[in-house]
Amino acid sequence: MVAPVYARARATATRLIGRLGKPAQLVRQERSGPPHAPVLVPVEHACMVADIGYSITDRPGTHIEAGDKVGIMSPAVAVEPQKTDVLRIDGADYRFVDLQPLDPGGLGVLFEYVARR
C-alpha cells in the first residue's frame, strides 16, 4: 500500500508542474501495420515539463553541457517515459541523456531529466 504522503506529493507535483510548467510531447517509436510487415511510427504523448536549469557547477566535464535541458516532468503522462523516447519542447527534439523517476514507495511522483539536442 502506498503511503498517503506519497499520493499527496504526486498530486502536488502534478498540479504545480501543470501550473508553472509548459506543454511538451514525449515521442515514442511504436510498432504499427500488419504483423508480417510492421513499421515504426512516431506517436506523441502530451506531457507537462518544468525547466529547472542547471547551476554553475553543472558544466562541461560533467554529464551536463551547455544547451542541455534540465527539468522535471509531471507523472500525468499516458506512458512512462523511457530513455529511448524523444522529448519535444517548443518544437525542438531532445534526446534523454539521463532520466530518473522519483518514486518513493513505488508511486511515481515526477521524472527528472537531462536532455540534449
Give the per-residue pLDDT at 1. 58
In the chain, which residue ranges form alpha helices assigned H by DSSP?
Answer: 4-20
Per-residue confidence in pLDDT tens, the chain, 117 aa: 567 888 999 999 999 999 999 999 999 999 999 999 999 999 999 999 999 988 766 665 677 888 899 999 999 999 999 999 999 999 999 999 999 999 988 888 999 999 999
Question: Which three cell numbers, joined as nine digits, stand for 67?
Answer: 544547451
Give the Å distances, CA to CA, from 3 to 6, 63, 77, 104.
6, 34, 22, 9
Question: Which three cell numbers, joined as nine digits, stand for 96?
Answer: 534523454
Give the per-residue pLDDT at 53. 86
Every domain of the chain and the residues it spans = 4-116
